[in-house]
A and B are shown apart, each in its own frame.
Chain A
Amino acid sequence: MNRIVEKRQIAPKIHEMVVEAPPVAAKAQPGHFVIVMADERGERVPLTVADYDRGRGTITLILMAVGTSTIKLAEMKAGDDLFAFIGPLGHASQLDDFGTVVMVAGGVGTAPIFPIARALREKGNRVISIQGARTRELLFWQDRLASVSDEHVITTDDGSFGRKGLVTEPLKECLERRPNGEIGCVYAIGPAVMMKFCSKTTEPFKVKTIVSLNTIMVDGTGMCGGCRVNVGGETRFTCVDGPEFDGHLVDWDELLKRQKIYIKEEKCSLDQYLETVEKP
């Protein structure tokens, strides 16, 4: 059992949760993920580490309440105990000195991008962050991301804040403005379709592009293969070979389809859950 020490809603459906887990906090690095279960009947939900505090022994997670499992987690309060908390899992980010890096965050992707951006800046990289959301009220952690960035661009699909449009536009401009290998690496983390188009955007510029995949998982330790993904023609497991991969090598269409395997079941589960909570 791991205690939730802080819990707040930071945007519609988006929740920040600080969990007491000293052994995990002691080991967590940018890029790692954890697996969380709300209760005994819950799913094992993989969430990328958004921050960690070794002194307090805590891990910070950001989650979007969209299905039964994430809604259950979002409804928990400070002082509640998670049924299970496992990690840190996966490989940590490779924190090299790339020169200039572009960190593209889409939606809740801001959460995992933040500690990676911070660490890359500490390594001496110049950090350009591009943070996108559908609309203004879905933006969060702008200040935190700005505090670890040399440049910080915000986009919204509807133009309600920052630049109107998708993150791929400032990304493309950024690459065009800085040719000749000035940008050593692009990180793109967010919804799969956003990572796909960021990878497509950087491909002609031949800039190394790293994505962090959030595939469906069960155990998170390489045992089941549910998180398998085709990278460069080879089947890899996101949990133990990733979660970060070269975005230019990922078979995005296969990945997008694999994320929809349980669409029917997810709806069925959610309907049933909402019915039980509404009729006490």
Chain B
Amino acid sequence: MSGPEQKPRKKIVPKKTPMPEQDPKVRVGNFNEVPLGYTSEQAVQEASRCLQCKKPLCVEGCPVDVDITGFLTLVKEGEFAAAARKIKETNALPAICGRVCPQESQCEARCVLSKKWDPLAIGRLERFVADYERENHLIELPEKKPPTGRKIAIVGSGPSGLTVAGDLILLGYDVTIFEAFHKPGGVLMYGIPEFRLPKDIVEKEVEYLLNLGVKLQLNSVIGKSITIDELLDGKYFDAVFIGVGAGLPSFLGVPGENLGGIYSANEYLTRSNLMKAYRFPEYDTPIVRGKTVCVVGGGNVAMDSARTARRLGADNVYIVYRRSRKELPARLEEIHHAEQEGIVFKMLSNPVEFTGDEHGMVRRIRCQEMELGEPDASGRRRPIPKEGCFFEIDTDLVIIAIGGGANPVLTKSTRGLELNKWGYIVADPSGRTTRPRVWAGGDIVTGSATVIEAMGAGRRAANDIHACLSDSQTEPWLPEKKDSP
């Protein structure tokens, strides 16, 4: 017998251990989380599928370099809290990432098992250990490095800002996060619905950072209440990280779009999630409830909007998307969940006009049928209108979920910050902007992307901020260390 063949072969379990979910018929009537999470037994069983590759490819697929095989070993041994801490060495927000990361195109896409079988359910296990640690009150604060005496301002408390805060607080920096809203979390709070990411989990992850010593200043619109110049020159911050998100909704620009009952997805989701309009009138912020709802767009935000509308009492919810099913940018899991909940997909359809009633509320959407042409710059096949082919849907609520642009409130008020032609901040891979002592990352640099990509940008910026501030030789523009006022 020759070399490699001698090694006893691990028996492959081809399928992922299924995760229990709320029944679709039940869950459309509530806002509780859809997947229910693994039990300890299921977690151990799933972790045991890991082949423990010598050179784990899964880690290469992770934007924040989680030691995946390391934490899986601990899960297999039943050391769940230790597994959570292993993840937290490089990722301060595992309960969030376990829920909203697109694992299928990151770590799990690289899993060796996925060549022939289901990949390991890395996301589900990440979620499991983070929940286990939190629910059993086993969260321990890691040791911090001694204070550096340097102050860092972080603008925005979304995924990138929280990551920078989590990294730099451990390295001994004095960290303050400025948030425009009355609650921290950014898109995790206002954008992603409760049934996909429960808000008490976001609150707990933020609380963890506050317990580590991160300071949080809510209701602060940087660019209005305070400018970046003032943070650097007046308030003695040594560096600023801008992670404000994209923050400007796009509309279609077709007739009738300002009718009542037509929302940007930003507004619809902010009303429902942040302002808790889904619990109106217990909460004061109202939201239009439709019986027949059209959601325009095909990304995760469109799925979130459609599923929210369903839970708010809609009988018919349509996803109106101008390309075909193959081009839908949403995660497969989100599309699958939407379909289970009875959301209907109207593919190759593009809205051209909205009409309303005498009160100015939307009542009908007119769409043009599309067909796919040659691939465009994004590599996806370009949708082309079919001459003379139109159809209409009677509707009483429309949500426009076609992405957005760069919000100018902060960028326009900051000197020396170069923007690209779309208004996004120009930054190098480590997040350095053209303005000394200012870094940026997340959607305000890249345009709309994912939570984990923003976290990856935060990680790289934190590393670079630390490198610059610890070695003033390399960066002539760094100021002398100042005393706090």
Q: A and B, one complex?
A: yes
Binding site for B on A (CB under 8 A): 23-24, 27, 37, 41-44, 68-69, 72, 83-89, 218-219, 221-226, 228-230, 235, 240, 254, 257-258, 260-262, 265-266, 268-269, 272-273
Report Cα–Cα, A265/B282, bound state, in Å: 12
Chain A minimum-CB-distance residue to B288: A261
Contacts of B430 on A, CB cut-off 8 Å? none
A82 to chain B, nearest CB (A): 10
Binding site for A on B (CB under 8 A): 180-182, 218-221, 224-226, 247-249, 251, 253, 257-261, 263-264, 266-267, 270-271, 275-276, 280-288, 359-361, 407-409
Report Cα–Cα, A218/B249, bound state, in Å: 13
Once the chains bind, are A218 and B280 in contact (CB under 8 Å)?
no
Report Cα–Cα, A257/B361, bound state, in Å: 8
Given A86-B219, A258-B258 in contact, is the A221-B284 Cβ separation under 8 Å?
no
Report Cα–Cα, A27/B229, bound state, in Å: 14
A225 to chain B, nearest CB (A): 4
Please name 21 pairs of A and B residues whose Cβ atoms are closer than 8 Å in the assembled complex, sorted by A: A27-B224, A41-B282, A41-B283, A41-B284, A68-B281, A69-B284, A84-B182, A86-B221, A88-B225, A219-B180, A221-B407, A222-B248, A225-B266, A226-B264, A230-B258, A240-B409, A258-B258, A258-B360, A261-B360, A265-B286, A273-B281
Report Cα–Cα, A86/B251, bound state, in Å: 26
Contacts of A37 on B, CB cut-off 8 Å? 182
Once the chains bind, are B284 and A68 in contact (CB under 8 Å)?
yes
Q: A225-B264, A235-B251 are in contact. List 4 more A-B contacts (CB 8 A).
A: A89-B224, A219-B270, A221-B221, A229-B258
Report Cα–Cα, A37/B409, bound state, in Å: 22
Once the chains bind, are A266 and B360 in contact (CB under 8 Å)?
no
Contacts of B267 on A, CB cut-off 8 Å? 218, 224-226
Once the chains bind, are A41 and B258 in contact (CB under 8 Å)?
no
B422 to chain A, nearest CB (A): 15
Contacts of B287 on A, CB cut-off 8 Å? 265
Report Cα–Cα, A42/B280, bound state, in Å: 11
Contacts of B266 on A, CB cut-off 8 Å? 223-225
Report Cα–Cα, A120/B247, bound state, in Å: 34
Once the chains bind, are A235 and B281 in contact (CB under 8 Å)?
no
Identify which of A84, A87, A224, A266 contacts B224 (C-beta below 8 A): A87
Once the chains bind, are A42 and B258 in contact (CB under 8 Å)?
no
Chain B minimum-CB-distance residue to A27: B225
Once the chains bind, are B284 and A42 in contact (CB under 8 Å)?
yes
Identify which of B249, B271, B286 contacts A269 (C-beta below 8 A): B286
Contacts of A43 on B, CB cut-off 8 Å? 275, 284-285
Contacts of A89 on B, CB cut-off 8 Å? 221, 224
Once the chains bind, are A235 and B258 in contact (CB under 8 Å)?
yes
Contacts of A254 on B, CB cut-off 8 Å? 258, 360
Once the chains bind, are A222 and B247 in contact (CB under 8 Å)?
yes
Contacts of B409 on A, CB cut-off 8 Å? 221-222, 240
